[in-house]
Amino acid sequence: MATNVDERIQLVDPRPMYAQPPFDQQSKFDVPGSTAQMSPQPDHGEQSYQGSGKLRGLSALITGGDSGIGRAVAICYAREGANVAINYLCENDDAEQTAELVQQAGVRAELIRGDVRDESFCADLIEQSVSKFGGLDILVNNAAYQQTRDGIDDFSTEVFDRVFKTNVYGTFWLSRAAMKHLPPGGSIINTVSIQSFQPAGYLLPYAASKSALAGMTKAMAELAIKEGVRVNAVAPGPVWTPLIPSTMPAEKMETFGGNTLLNRPAQPIELAPLYVWLASPEASCVTGEIFGCTGGRTPL
C-alpha cells in the first residue's frame, strides 16, 4: 500500500527528549539495583514502542533482562512477536514487572533466575529456554557487572574476577551452549560498551572486559557463520539504568551522561530497536559488527 505523501511523522529534537544532568542524589542500593528507586524513572518503551511483526514466532533469551537495556529489549522483542526468556540475578520485582510487560504483548514470558558466573547454570539456562519454547532463535548477552575505584591498587582480585566472570565468561559459556540449538538465521547479540574503545581508568576491569567482549564478538562471528548464525554487538555510551546508581560514586552520578553531544544519557528504549533489527532477517548481511549508540562520543 502506498504511503500518503501528505502524512508526516512528528520529528522530535533529541536533546531535550529526556532528563539532562545535573541529576538529583540517587538512593544508594546494592547491585544490580532497582528500577523503582531511580529518579527519574528510565524509559523502556512501555508507552512508545509499537511492533510490526519483525520477530513473529521466534524465541529469545535475554540475560540481565529484568531492567535497563535488557527490559527494553524484552518489551520490543515481545511487541515484535517473539517469546522471551528473561534471565536475572536477584531483582524479583523488576523481573516480574518485565515479564508482565512481555505477556501484555500476547506472547510467552519465562523468568529464569540465576548467576551467569556459574558455567553449569549457563548450560542449564540455555536448555531451560529451549525446553520452555521448543527452540531458541536469539541469544542476547546483556548481563553485566562493574565497580569503580580511584586507583589500580583499589581493584581487588575478587572484583576483577567477578567482572570478567559475568561479562566475558558468561557470554562465552552461553554462546557456546546456544550454538547447539540456534538455527541458520539465528542471532547472538552482545552488549559491549563505549568502554571497549574509550576506556576510563576508574572502570578498569569493566573496560578491559568489554574490550575482550568486542574481540570475542568478531572472533565468534567468524566461527558461528559456518552454521548460518550471525553474531553482532551493540556498544552503548552512558545509559540511565539501575546499574549506574548502584555502582557509580555520587559525584559522577550528578553529571552522568553530560559528556555526550546531546548533553544527557540515553534511555534504554533508545538502544533497543538496534537489538530488534540485528535479530531480524532484515539484517541478514550483518555479522561481526559492533554498532555504537554513544550519543556521539566516539566512532567505533
Q: What are the catalytic residues?
A: 206
Cis peptide before 265 (omega within 30 of 0): no
For 165, the grid coordinates are 566472570
State the DSSP H helix or E strand holding residue 243, giving kind and residue range, or none if neither: helix 243-247
Q: Count of residues for the chain? A: 300
Inter-residue contact 140 to 233 (CB < 8 Å): no
Distance CA 11, CA 9 (A): 6
Phi and psi torsions of 184, nearest 5°: -55, 135
User: Which DSSP category does 115 fall into?
Assistant: -
The H-assigned helical ranges of 81-140 are: 92-103, 119-133
Q: Are strands 109-113 and 138-141 parallel, antiparallel or unpaired?
A: unpaired
The CA-based diameter of the chain, rounded to the nearest angstrom, is 63
Inter-residue contact 167 to 206 (CB < 8 Å): yes
